[in-house]
Amino acid sequence: MFRENLMIAFKALWANKMRSLLTTLGVVIGVAAVIAVVSVVQGLFFAINDIFKAFGSGWVRVMAMPPDDASWEGKNIEPLYREDAEYLRSHVPMIAEIAPAMFIPGQTIKHGENRSSTDILGTVPAFMDVVNFYVDQGRFFTHIDDKSSRRVCAIGEGIIEKLELEEPILGSQIQIGPESFTIVGMMEARGELIGMNLDDYIFVPYGTARSMFGEEMVGNTIWDIAVTDPERLELAKSQITDVMRRKRRLAPEDPDDFRLFTQEQFTSALGSISRYATGAAGGIAGVALVVGGIGIMNIMLVSVTERTREIGVRKAVGARRDNILMQFLIEAVILTVIGGGLGIALGVGFGHLIASLIPQFPPAHVPMWAVIAGFSVSGFVGVVFGVYPAMRAARLDPIDALRYE
């Protein structure tokens, strides 16, 4: 009986192709909109997630930051000194490695006739391991470079283009601010992510940065830490917090004047952002689907009226009420599910299109749950808005129906 109803449904819909298509448009648009938004947001989510995953699950970043409440307004925040990093390492057994890094934005760089501007990161050799970002050619700096504040640097791939550097790149001289630096290494390509372009950084030894830019830049310091046991990250975080509070002489009732970041925080923050965006899209789509559903109900009512005679004949030869009900309900559901399928296909296309049109945007990603949800919700709309017309059809009196012109 089900198979017969399917065939009847397809035949009826196909007989009125244009009408069926227009009727299902609301569902198509609603589903397409959600899928497009979800795929774009998910693509972003995945790409950012990948970047943070690259840091590894045992990564903790410490930054000096005021706490949220107003009690700290106006007070100065004690910066993160390098020596304190050493103290932390020796007092927290779960720290495998700690890499302080000093962030110096917008420095003028020159090479020959070419001029540009870029961000500098002063750091230590351990940086590469902790952050999982390695030199591709040449070398990173050594402890001696660091201690001696030597004017050497490792450049991101993008710098080559910025300053139009020519082979051989290793050993060339570039000017950073007022000083001349030797390029000793080239970092691996990492690519862009919405303005955060790892390929555009220049890396110099921490000691060098400190000697050039002085203490005023120390406020831009972060510490990247690799813990010994990523499984027990929470324990490591609490150990770090305890030692930091002691070193920075915070009273028990004072809030932390620093913050710890882990990969999980970024991913959960991203997760909730993407959930909000998806929820908003879902809300809008919900409206479209309700409107679309009403349209479907309307057309199904028309269809039932048009086929009054046919319903009478079916009843005369033995169709029961639920046979007729099922026939029309299945027709409505097929209509909406096909609309859902079309919507998903369109949404995937739009998602990819949008992602490719925004500059530096990662590719869209369509999660399986969205596809399943798209079909299920469409089917559900079909049931909800198809049941009334189907019941009307089922309740027709066969004698009246047979007399209908």
Partner 1 sequence: MANLIQVRDLKKHYQMGSENVHALDGVSLDIEKGDYVAIMGPSGSGKSTLMNLIGCLDTPTSGSYVLNSKEVSTMNDDELAAIRNKEIGFVFQTFNLLARTTALGNVELPLIYAAVPRAERVQRAREALNAVGLGDRMTHRPNQLSGGQRQRVAVARALVNRPSLLLADEPTGNLDSKTTTEIMALFDDLRSRGNTIVVVTHEEEIAHHARRIVRLRDGKVVSDEVVKAA
Residues that bind partner 1 (CB under 8 A): 1, 4, 11-12, 15, 309-310, 312-321, 323, 398-399, 402
Dihedral in degrees, nearest 10, Cα atoms 53, 55, 58, 61: -120
For the bound state, the minimum distance from the C-beta of residue 320 to partner 1, rounded and expressed in Å, comes to 4
The residue among 179 and 306 lying less far from partner 1, judged by its C-beta, is 306
d(CA 390, CA 385): 9
The residue among 237 and 314 lying less far from partner 1, judged by its C-beta, is 314
The residue among 14 and 171 lying less far from partner 1, judged by its C-beta, is 14
Q: Which two tokens stand for residue 10?
A: 């397809």
The residue among 28 and 394 lying less far from partner 1, judged by its C-beta, is 394
For the bound state, the minimum distance from the C-beta of residue 45 to partner 1, rounded and expressed in Å, comes to 49
Nearest to 348 by CA among 39, 26, 15, 10: 39
The residue among 304 and 319 lying less far from partner 1, judged by its C-beta, is 319
Classify 92 as helix, strand or coil. Answer: coil
Residue partners of 250: CB distance under 8 A and separation at least 6? 256, 257
The residue among 65 and 399 lying less far from partner 1, judged by its C-beta, is 399
| Cβ proximity of 234 and 262 under 8 Å | no
Nearest to 142 by CA among 202, 90, 207, 87: 207
| Cβ proximity of 20 and 296 under 8 Å | no
The residue among 246 and 309 lying less far from partner 1, judged by its C-beta, is 309
For the bound state, the minimum distance from the C-beta of residue 274 to partner 1, rounded and expressed in Å, comes to 48
For the bound state, the minimum distance from the C-beta of residue 285 to partner 1, rounded and expressed in Å, comes to 34
Nearest to 361 by CA among 351, 370, 371: 351
For the bound state, the minimum distance from the C-beta of residue 5 to partner 1, rounded and expressed in Å, comes to 10
For the bound state, the minimum distance from the C-beta of residue 15 to partner 1, rounded and expressed in Å, comes to 6
Element (H, E) at 64: strand 59-64
Alpha helices in 56-156 (DSSP H): 82-91, 127-131, 143-147
The residue among 7 and 353 lying less far from partner 1, judged by its C-beta, is 7
For the bound state, the minimum distance from the C-beta of residue 17 to partner 1, rounded and expressed in Å, comes to 13
Residue partners of 320: CB distance under 8 A and separation at least 6? none
The counts of H helices and E strands in the chain are 14, 10
Residue partners of 259: CB distance under 8 A and separation at least 6? 62, 63, 65
d(CA 62, CA 256): 12
For the bound state, the minimum distance from the C-beta of residue 334 to partner 1, rounded and expressed in Å, comes to 16
The residue among 62 and 319 lying less far from partner 1, judged by its C-beta, is 319
